[in-house]
Amino acid sequence: MGGEKLRLAVLASGSGTNLQAILDAAASPAYPATVALVLSDKLGCGALERATAAGVDTEVVTWEDHGGDRAAFTRTIVEVLDKYDVELIALAGFMRILSADLFEAYPNRVLNTHPSLLPAFRGAHAVEDALAAGVKIAGVTIHVVVPEVDAGPIIAQEAVDVRPGDDTGSLHERIKAVEHDLFPKVIEDWARGRYEVRDGRVNESEGS
């Protein structure tokens, strides 16, 4: 396919296994997106190391440098994203809530992976909460980010069976394995123009 690749920024705070899956997918010449930037709020985190190893530009914007002012923190992030001419933003384990400034600057252009079948188990402890509730089926949701946390239009979901004896670690590992497939695929389909957000829902076009 010809044409330019979609410029993607990945925001991550942790070990960066989802980032790695995106970097691996983007290494294929046929993949329609390129990782233009990896931004983190955590100096020295695994995600930054993975980005550097892949030769991708990195930026760090810390919460502490902004004195806990969410709007100021978000505005600095928007300035950085603007600088890199980013067209799509993937939150891949980014553990800070961002203010509406991001969604005003990039409406319907921020995607997130969440380790539950939303709207069940929003928040930072989704896997733990699902296990505590005794669910038999957990899963993954990829959604468009809106100001309300873990509440945006759902793009794709996949179920993960809970096994007897699962703990948070073992279940989260299997959930992550699914995220590693699903998130790069959704980004690919997004870059190919297969999704449309309308009236708070994501519609998928048929065909190739």
State the angle between helix axes of 168-191 and 17-26 in degrees (0 to 180), rounded to the nearest 10.
Answer: 30
**Binding residues with ligand GRF: total (CB under 6 A):** 13
**DSSP 8-state secondary structure symbol assigned to residue 108:** T
CA distance 79 to 61: 11
- Closest residue to ligand GRF, judged by C-beta, is 93
The reply on whether position 16 binds ligand GRF by CB under 6 A is yes
C-alpha distances out from residue 92 to 20, 26, 128, 207, Å = 10, 15, 18, 28
Please answer whether residues 196 and 156 qualify as being in contact, where contact means their C-beta atoms are separated by less than 8 angstroms: no
Helix (H, G, I), strand (E, B) or coil at 20: helix
Per-position x/- string for 63-102, each x denoting binding to ligand GRF as judged by CB under 6 A, each - no binding:
-----------------------------xx---------
Interactions with ligand GRF, residue window 165-184 (CB under 6 A)? 176, 179
Among 5, 15, 99, 158, binds ligand GRF (CB under 6 A): 15
The reply on whether position 114 binds ligand GRF by CB under 6 A is yes
Catalytic residue of the set 114, 143, 172, 180:
114
Of 92 and 110, which CB lies nearer to ligand GRF in the complex structure? Answer: 92
CA distance 99 to 121: 21
The reply on whether position 109 binds ligand GRF by CB under 6 A is no
In this structure, the number of other CB atoms found within 10 A of the CB of residue 195 comes to: 19
The reply on whether position 50 binds ligand GRF by CB under 6 A is no
147 Cβ partners below 8 Å, 6+ apart?
99, 100, 103
21 Cβ partners below 8 Å, 6+ apart?
179, 180, 181, 183, 184
Among 5, 7, 14, 168, binds ligand GRF (CB under 6 A): 14
Candidate ranges 10-18, 48-56, 77-85, 154-162; the one touching ligand GRF (CB under 6 A): 10-18
The reply on whether position 152 binds ligand GRF by CB under 6 A is no
CA distance 5 to 199: 28
Interactions with ligand GRF, residue window 17-46 (CB under 6 A)? 17-18
Of 59 and 150, which CB lies nearer to ligand GRF in the complex structure? Answer: 150
Whether residue 114 lies in the annotated active site: yes
Q: Which residues bind ligand GRF (CB under 6 A)?
A: 12, 14-18, 92-93, 113-115, 176, 179
Q: Which positions are catalytic?
A: 114
